[in-house]
Structure 1
Amino acid sequence: MSEPGVARLFSALVPPQEVLASLRAELARHPKGPGSRRLRWAAPESWHVTLGFYGLDDIAARTDWLRRRLAGRSAPVLRLEAGGTFRGVLWTGVRGSGLGELAEAVRPGESVPAEQAFHGHLTLARGHAPAVLVAWARLLAEYRSPEWIADEAVLMRSDPGERGPAYTTVVRFPLGRPVDGEPS
């Protein structure tokens, strides 16, 4: 149990319902996808794009820090696309103007090792079956969601749950006007 005001925290973007519905529909196109039962699928209500992970942290202090870091930031124009894998994770990519800059603004620390560079993604499933993960990534190769304007970032807490972590939005931070340009 954590002390009052302290929790496992991260910042994120949450795609709107129409984008999540598009992703659910894409996954439903493959009801008997290769090795589906060998993967632990993330619940759609937990889908998000992590911007920065802060570990066990003081909620009030992190809220103040994020408020300062996000002040005046533009809203990225994003879309989900394709699929990929890394370290036992199946994901769909997130592309868009301004996403990397936003992630950099909320990343803790000064220098970042190359292996920890930001890679925008939304986690779909986890598992210790590399061939199954790769097969699913191939099934998602042509997927493209509708575009959306990420007009808010959120601070979320992560608490242990019976079927994996439970995520709760702690604070919402509005973002400004959309970033000019097309998703990359």
Structure 2
Amino acid sequence: MLLFSAIVPPAQLAESLELRLGALRPQAPDARWTPPDRWHITLGFYGEAEETETRVDWLRKALAGQPAPVLRLEGAGTFSRVLYLGVYSESLIALATAAGAGAERPYLPHLAVARTTGDVPAELAQGLSRYVSEPWTAIEVVLMRSDPTPTGRRYSVVERFPLEVRPAGQASG
């Protein structure tokens, strides 16, 4: 079992993005497209874990009082046979850092949408390069567990951590 913290995009965004990706799928018939119910923006990756309660307690303290970021997906990129959409927000880096991101390598906020066995075809990233989602407010972080199955990994929510939604222009106090 692997543990990681993440933000899950809202259903209306997933529906809109799914329509956009549908037009790209014929260009990469061998790609493994991530289903919308598995889409997430990883904040902190914690690796193998036997006991989750320690991580739950740690995250509860680390995320207490963290503001709910306004996010948007914009543009596309590739790395290690992964096609992803960029994630932009003024406060996402601070939230991810609080959740443990950046300790091992620089944090790259992204939403992975497909994996390939070889290089990601350039036309896929080009096909998403002008994509811009509607902004949304992430009202919670989830601690996820990832378990191997014969057909891939299965994700499940271990715990939810609400974020502080503040009126526009209000700073933390």
Amino acid at match of 2:115: R
Amino acid at match of 2:3: L
> Post-superposition shift, 1:31?
4.3
> Post-superposition shift, 1:179?
8.7
> Post-superposition shift, 1:20?
0.7
Aligned to 2:97: 104
1:158 to 129, 146, 150: 146
Are the aligned partners of 1:14 and 1:48 in contact in 2 as well (CA < 8 Å)?
yes
Distance in 1 (CA, whole Å) between partners of 2:57 and 2:167 is: 24
Tell me whether 24-33 or 134-143 shows the greater mean CA deviation: 24-33
- What are the superposed Cα offsets for residues 78-111 of structure 1, whole Å, 9 maximum, x if unpaired? 0111111011111011111211111111116xx7
How do 1:87-98 and structure 2 match up within 5 A? 87-98=80-91
Unaligned runs of 5+ in 1: 1-6
> In the alignment, does 2:52 pair up with 1:59?
yes
Aligned to 1:4: none
Are the aligned partners of 2:73 and 2:88 in contact in 1 as well (CA < 8 Å)?
yes
Aligned to 1:81: 74
> Post-superposition shift, 1:126?
1.1
Local SS of the residue matching 1:28? helix
> In the alignment, does 2:65 pair up with 1:72?
yes
> In the alignment, does 2:162 pair up with 1:168?
no
> Post-superposition shift, 1:128?
2.9
Provide the alpha-carbon RMSD of the alignment.
1.8
Amino acid at match of 1:172: R
How many residues get paired? 168
Q: 1:30 to 1:126 in 2, by over 3 A?
A: closer
TM-score, normalization by structure 1: 0.85
> Post-superposition shift, 1:18?
0.7
> In the alignment, does 2:27 pair up with 1:38?
no
Are the aligned partners of 1:76 and 1:178 in contact in 2 as well (CA < 8 Å)?
no
Task: Extract structure 1 runs of 4+ deviating beyond 6 A.
Answer: none
Distance in 2 (CA, whole Å) between partners of 1:151 and 1:11 is: 14
Distance in 2 (CA, whole Å) between partners of 1:44 and 1:86 is: 20
Aligned to 2:19: 25
Unaligned runs of 5+ in 2: none
Distance in 2 (CA, whole Å) between partners of 1:40 and 1:179 is: 40
Are the aligned partners of 1:76 and 1:98 in contact in 2 as well (CA < 8 Å)?
yes
Are the aligned partners of 1:93 and 1:122 in contact in 2 as well (CA < 8 Å)?
yes
Are the aligned partners of 2:78 and 2:120 in contact in 1 as well (CA < 8 Å)?
no
> In the alignment, does 2:126 pair up with 1:138?
yes
